[in-house]
Structure 1
Amino acid sequence: MASRKRQAVVGYAGVYFVEVPRSTGHGMEKVYYVRYRKQGKLIEEKVGGQYRDNMTAAKASSIRGLRMEGKDASNEEKRAAVRAAKMAEESRYSFDRLWSLFEEAKSSNRSIKDDRIRFNLHIAPSLGTKSIPELTIHDIDKLRAKLEKAGKSPQTVKHVLTLVKRILNFALQKGYVDSIPSTLRITMPTVDNKVTENLTPEQVQNLLKALDEEPDQTLASLVRLALFTGMRRSALLNLQWEDLDFERGFITLRGSVAKKGKTETIPMNDQARAILTALPQTRSPYVFPGRYDDKPRGNITDMLKRVKEKAGLPESFRPLHGLRHSFASWLASSGQVSMYELQKLLTHSSPQMTQRYAHLHDDALKKASGVAGALFDSVRPPSQGDKDAVEAEQPASKAISKKNRSE
């Protein structure tokens, strides 16, 4: 009941009203309430406003009678019925169905293929038949435990749980559910993804030798290009001839296949130019064409595995991705490239992404600083302390020399 003064309506038992300002801002209106008992419980609730709901004392009394007889639901009963209907509607959206809607809406995403594999392989068997109202944190914990028991890496577990969160958020944004249960607070595993794979000069020599002996020289050129440019796998496979500006010496990386969806350019160094000009140009627009002219090369895993084994590279080394790391590591440790320049060559969106190579750059700077110190030290006139040290060494040197002669 409103806190304003309540007034009973003469002739209508259990009907009351309070006067409140009209929503238009001019004048007052009566808001009617009814009071009655149902199954021994005292109920008091609003039934409507004089103007906004066209409510009168007679109508309010009629509503009171119907509710007392159980022919009309109380406000609380109506709200409960609405909640039940919403829950029933939401229950129609199982995780399997939400995934279908999510997949359709996100079909243009570059990651949708990986998402499909993660959902079908890991999420569907555990959560597929459940709706969001039925989902509990216990279900999420069981999914996580199942992945960890299967030996999945923290990164894989994180990818799967992130997809669960994305589907939940998608359902909320699209109105398939009114809310996400507050208990569904998904904790992500800690992932150390700052592994920097760096090949030694000897390993690079072995790799280049294995590439020279590879039967598929077109794909061998793709790997060489990865080493000399640091390009990502998707950029290499989707590279087209029109992306190559031999005159100005630049390579365009298409935004449609880029990690951050932004078209950028990188310099075409002499090694990259030599590799690209040596490649045969077919009717396909792609530099590394697939079976059909309108498609780029697809699965290259077998060739990469073959070359890696022949070069004797570590089992943990990831071809192409590891070559990108090696490209960056070698440049950083050279001391000839600034961290800003390295960021631009790697097309990193922020300096923080390039920081994993900063220690290599710092080591190179320390060595350069050491060289400078030695150069200046070589022309510095000896101080009195230096002279005293030399004089102290001379008697000892003479004694040793005399002993050697006597022997």
Structure 2
Amino acid sequence: MPKLKLSKSVVEKIAARDVEIVHWDEALRGFGLRVKPNGTKSYIIQYRSRKTGRSKRQTIGQVGPLISFAAARKEAMRLLSEAAQGGDPVAEKQTARQGKTVSDLASQYLSHHARPKKRPKSVANDISMLNGIILPCMSTRLVAEIGHSDVQALHNGLADTPYRANRTLALLSKMFELSIRWGWRSDNPAKGVERFPEEKRHRWLSEDELSRLTRALDEHPNQTAASAIRLQLLTGARIGEVLTAKWQDFDLNRGFWIKPSHHTKQKRTEHLPLSGTALALLSSIKAGMDADDELVFPGRVAGQPIKDLKRFWKAVLREAGITNYRIHDNRHTHASHLVSSGLSLPIVGRLLGHTNPLTTQRYAHLADNPLREAAEVMASKLAR
């Protein structure tokens, strides 16, 4: 296709031919003038998408009184600059024309990503954030219209609950990341929004508190729920993993709990060695059940595990005189007592199923006593 140094006077002089032809500007690569056989002239741009590698073409406007050459060239520079930085103006225009809303994005996120790939509890958390926070603010807004300032304002509005605010931001970021893959927009407006600082919980039970909790568990009438807590304390497992456990997941002869991937947070099968006490607990539970029972901790509904331990847990804590302590903190109690007893952080991390060593690092200061005892070895030799 011919190249010219386009200008207002050149555009006016170009004549139509018997076929459509595009004259590309020598000075601004990707900017051109399309001339149809009927004489209609239009300013256009053409670029290659950096994400897909496909060539895209977009019409800026028809030559005439509504848009001058200078205005058309300025708009071409803006669009081509956006494309050069990884944007896709054509895709954004198509998205705006399709009218995809944030509500549409939420529905497709749940059906195409969350439900097929995430644990049921995680899906439930996503739905809670969508229905309680995100959709009330922007359900009818077009996906292509949501800007960085919109996401920032939503995040800032949740400053009183920083943990919830950051989880909501992460959900929005994932949704918009997927919207780029689906061709609904070209960028992620949640990128660059700074998260609120989060205070990590460092709550676990002392020896005395652990003793009081054990007595309260022994005295509670619901021993099925009490045994679930006992198994959690003995293994450091997440309570969801405990409650959904099936007898087929345990090899009591070899002393292993084979956690299936769809029950673990990391979505991978884990082989957890069981202590003698844990094996004895499981054996006693199994002895009191029918041979065809599948669930270790069945609930009131046949075929369903225990769903909720809130009332039970409040009663146990009240009886034990323990405050500011959650069921999930039993996992921290398990880990902290292992570390303070001298076990290494990598070993504790493997028992807990951590994939990131930094997750286990929160217990590092508890290893002080074993280190101090080791330091005293040389001191005692010198003293002698």
TM-score scaled by structure 2? Answer: 0.76
8 A contact 2:100–2:142 mirrored in 1? yes
Measured in 2, the distance between the counterparts of 1:260 and 1:366 equals 35
Whole-angstrom distance in 1 between the partners of 2:323 and 2:190: 44
Q: How far did residue 84 of structure 1 move?
A: 8.7
Which of 86, 94, 110 matches 2:94? 86
Find the residue that maps to 2:348 and give its secondary structure.
helix
Please state whether the residue corresponding to 2:272 is helix, strand or coil.
strand
SS at match of 1:147: coil
The 3 A distance-change label for structure 1 pair 134 and 277 is same
**Alignment deviations for residues 11-67 of structure 1 (CA, whole Å, 9 cap, x no partner):** xx73499xxxxxxxxxxxx995569xxxxxxx97245xxxxxxxxxxxx6x34x2x1
Question: Whole-Å Cα distance in 2 between the matches of residues 183 and 237 of structure 1?
Answer: 36
Shift of 1:231: 1.0
CA distance 1:97–1:182, change in 2 (3 Å): closer
Does residue 326 of the first structure (1) align with residue 333 of the second (2)? yes
Cα displacement (A) at 1:202: 0.8
Counterpart-to-counterpart distance in 2, 1:235 and 1:258: 7
Cα deviation, 1:270-313, whole Å, max 9, x if unaligned, reads 22112111113244311011233432221112111211222111
The residue aligned with 1:157 is 165
Q: Deviations over 1:136-166 (max 9, x none)?
A: 3332233223322xx32x1111001111111
Q: 3-state SS of the aligned residue for 1:196?
A: coil
Contact 2:232–2:330 (Cα < 8 Å) also in 1: yes
Q: Which has the larger radius of gyration?
A: 1
Q: Note the alpha carbon deviations across 1:86-117, whole angstroms, 9 max, x for none.
A: 25334x21111211111111213111111000
**CA distance, structure 2, for counterparts of residue 224 and residue 78 of structure 1:** 65
| Matched residue, 2:9 | none
Q: Which region of structure 1 is more displaced relative to structure 2, 359-368 or 302-311?
A: 359-368
Name the residue aligned to 2:210: 204
Show structure 2 runs of 5+ residues with no match.
7-12, 25-30, 46-56, 62-89
Cα 1:314/1:296, change in 2 over 3 Å: same
| RMSD over equivalenced CA pairs, Å | 3.1
SS in 1 for 2:144: coil
- Tell me which of 230, 236, 245 is aligned to 1:230: 236
Match of 2:102 in 1: 95
Could you tell me how far 1:374 is from its partner in structure 2? 4.8
Q: 1:350 to 1:183 in 2, by over 3 A?
A: closer
Answer yes or no: is the 8 Å Cα contact 2:151–2:189 preserved in 1: no
Would the alpha carbon gap of residues 93 and 278 (structure 1) be closer, same or farther in structure 2, given more than 3 Å must change?
Answer: same
* Structure 1 equivalent of residue 76 of structure 2: none
Residue equivalent to 2:28: none
The equivalent of 1:132 in structure 2 is 143
Amino acid at match of 1:88: A
| 2:363 maps to which of 357, 361, 369 | 357
CA shift at 1:375, angstroms? 3.6
Q: Is the 8 A contact 1:31 1:46 kept in 2?
A: yes
Superimposed CA distance per residue, residues 170-215 of structure 1 (whole angstroms, 9 cap, x where no aligned partner)? 211112x13136696422222233x322211110111011101111
Cα distance in 1 for residues equivalent to 2:382 and 2:349? 35
Alignment match of 2:297 (pick from 278, 288, 291): 288
1:133: how far off?
2.5
Give SS of 1:107's match: helix
Distance in 1, Cα, partners of 2:345 & 2:95: 54
1-side partners of 2:364 and 2:91: how far apart? 56
**Pair 1:246–1:3, CA change in 2 (3 A):** same
Question: Residue 133 of structure 1: SS of its match in structure 2?
Answer: helix
Q: Provide runs of 4+ in structure 1 moved above 3 Å.
A: 1-6, 30-35, 73-78, 80-85, 181-185
Provide the rounded CA distance (Å) in 2 between the counterparts of 1:312 and 1:247: 38
What residue number does 2:248 align with?
Answer: 242
CA distance in structure 2 between the aligned counterparts of 1:181 and 1:262, rounded to whole angstroms: 29
Residue 308 (structure 1) aligns with:
317
> Pairwise mapping of residues 183-194 of structure 1 onto structure 2 (< 5 A)?
185-193=192-200
Quickly say closer, same or farther: Cα 1:367–1:112, change in 2 above 3 A.
same
Tell me the amino acid that sits aligned with residue 265 of structure 2. K
Displacement, 1:4?
Answer: 7.3
Answer with 130-139 or 229-238: which moved more: 130-139
Structure-to-structure mapping, 1:337-352, within 5 angstroms: 337-352=343-358
Letter in 2 for 1:331: L
Unaligned runs of 5+ in 1: 7-12, 18-29, 36-42, 48-59, 380-407
